[in-house]
Amino acid sequence: MRGPHNIWRLIRTLATMERTGAIGVVLEAMDAPPRLRVAARVLGWPFKWLGLKGDASLPPATRAITALGPAYIKFGQILSTRPDIVGAELSEQLTMLQDRLPPFDTRVAKRMVAEELGVDVDATFSEFSEPVAAASIAQVHRARLAETGQEVAVKVLRPGIDKAFRKDIDAFHLAAGLIEAIVPFSRRLRPSDVVAHFESVVNGELDLRLEAASAAEFAANTEADAGMSVPRPDWGLSGRRVMTMGWAEGLGLADLVSIDGAGHDRVALASRVMSLFLSHALRDGFFHGDMHQGNLKVAANGDLVFYDFGIMGRLDEYTRRVYAEILIGFIRRDYRRVAEVHFEAGYVPADRDIDEFARALRVVGEPIFGMDATRISMARLLSYLFEVTERFGMETRTELILLQRTMVVVEGVARTLDPHINIWKVARPVVESYITRNVGPRALIRDLGRTARVLARFGPRLPAMVEGALIRQAETVRPGARPWHPVWWVLLGAALTLTGGAAGLVLAALG
């Protein structure tokens, strides 16, 4: 599929980028050499007439991407989460991408629901509305279950969208390969890896069962969180091409006039948006990766309602601890500790000077703490931090990039609700609470308990594992070297077995 027949798609893309003026913006954002910029303009100019005109009211990059269609819109939205690749300015432009597209016929949607779920749509739903939202991959209908009367949202993939996306993704792969072969400097941006990441994200969104799983996991994690709710999926009425979940009723978070008219406290809402995001990222390691106003509502009781779980972020436990220690170090202005955490985590090569790194971190933190509350930005701090760590040899970590990008969006939402919010004041109790529970003696005891639990599981297999290691050690011992005496192996095996058995007894006693 990634052969010469994709060249036409690439020519059309280049022509559209040239006609809309996007080519210069993109190359500038990626810091392309002058010669490459000239070459791109020279190659694109003869085909300019083949390009799509797009909406002249949009900025050049978003104008071109919107004109090129659903796959390009989704690609642009995903690139907006990677300022490390496209630069901060272009990343900000791409966040404005809207994928509101003309809906497809409701009769087609009903037919797809019937085929996917094997149900009679008119018997299953007493109401089934015209599309209430239409995006690049799917559209949503408001419906009511005939059996229970519950209002639900039914999300249906666009007909043939998986095939259309695969064609465009093949063209993206071809373009990435050509760019890497012709423009060596581009390899540091890893175009092929970027396209592969895009492909994996889109493949996930093209199977709505995976989004339903994300919604269910997020709902389970946050069930006890006050002031928020998550619609739950209906697994009996969900499949690969159709997802049914509870209807999210409420006011859009961008509708400030209606929010004020309903008597909601915007200051409290702003603090809750920020603190909930940090809690989900640190406590659960699973956070909503697309928390813009369009994916949040305010319910009548004042709860924040989350929906659209196509982009979710995940952090492993060790990364969460590192991230929390970095944040609390900055909050306390302990730059030496922040530097130590980077070295301990292996984020910065061990051969770098820790004192120089700590001094560079002070340059990051001090100007921010000199600002008044309305200008303090955790997202800006993380952005500056990544610039410094890159200079000291830190490799890009995509999970932290998504975290930083989501932080930018969350801060924007919070400041829209409350322009005077003090981000650090809101963040501090959340981060300190996490630190108290997960860094220190209590966390050490819990980690030892987990280690004991693992040993307990492997207890019955430890003697055989020790015997196998003894045999391998005897077979590979170097000439003249003294192998371990069998007594030592026996003692080691006995110690491990006793440890595992004791751990099992303790855990059983503790319930």
Rounded Cα distance between 420 and 437, Å, is 30
Cβ 166 vs Cβ 195: under 8 Å: no
| Helix, strand, coil percent values for the chain (each to nearest 5) | 65, 10, 25
Angle between helix axes 191-205 and 70-79 (nearest 10 degrees) is 110
Type of residue found at 22: A
DSSP letter for each residue of 378-415: HHHHHHHHHHHHHHTTPPP-HHHHHHHHHHHHHHHHHH
Secondary structure of 212-224 as H, E, C letters: HHHHHHHHHHCCC
Cβ 297 vs Cβ 248: under 8 Å: yes
Nearest to 96 by CA among 140, 55, 124, 152: 55
Rounded Cα distance between 22 and 18, Å, is 6
Count other C-beta atoms under 10 Å from residue 407's C-beta. Answer: 25
Structure tokens at 270: 């702003």
Enzyme catalytic residues: 290
Residue 78 CA to its chain's centroid (Å): 9
Rounded Cα distance between 494 and 500, Å, is 10
Rounded Cα distance between 229 and 262, Å, is 19
Secondary structure of 95-109 as H, E, C letters: CCCCCCCCCCCHHHH
